Amino acid sequence: MVVTVEPLFDKGQTCSTIFDISKQYANDLYLCYSRERALSELNPNQIYNIVRLIEYEADIPGTEVVMRPIHVIRHGKADCKKKTTILSSYAILRGIPFRYACTSKKADGRIHHIFPQYKILGRYINFDATYPWYYIGEPKVVTNVEYFNPVVQ
């Protein structure tokens, strides 16, 4: 595995980095399997359920780590950024429009969480797979939300 280290200064840069890695390595999902099917072949519910069952592991305090999908899946542990990378790669491969929701539950509104929203039938649906008890479309109670719309070409 090649490791590239660069500082992430703000949420815009973090979203751009997640999107760039998701786009560059979307084909990783052809190489990862669940029950003898490539993850790229699954339907959105199936890929979501696989990702939400990946064990949550926060980054070391003071660091923000983003990995390509195959490394996240092999590591078997991930935080919201890494899970978002897998779900973004899937959306790119399947041609599903999506955006990132950057949210906060903190009183000061400081952004600390990210997840993708897939656009289905003209409506954005939360695909936050951070924890195993989350579900597709789960409403979020937040103090702040900002959206980042990646441009897929």
Flag whether 153 is in a domain: no
Flag whether 86 is in a domain: yes
Flag whether 5 is in a domain: no
Rounded distance between C-alpha atoms, residue 71 and residue 68, angstroms: 6
Q: What CATH number corresponds to the domain at position 74?
A: 3.10.620
Provide the number of structural domains found in the chain: 1
Phi-psi domain of 97 (left: phi exceeds 0; alpha: psi -120 through 50; beta: other): beta
**Structural domain boundaries enclosing 48:** 11-148
Flag whether 121 is in a domain: yes
Flag whether 6 is in a domain: no
> pTM higher than 0.85, yes or no?
yes
Flag whether 4 is in a domain: no
Phi-psi domain of 109 (left: phi exceeds 0; alpha: psi -120 through 50; beta: other): left
Flag whether 36 is in a domain: yes
Extract the tokens encoding 42. Answer: 């699954």
pLDDT digits (tens, 9 = 90+) for 45-89: 999 999 999 999 999 888 888 999 999 999 999 999 999 999 999
Contact by Cβ (8 Å): 81, 58: no
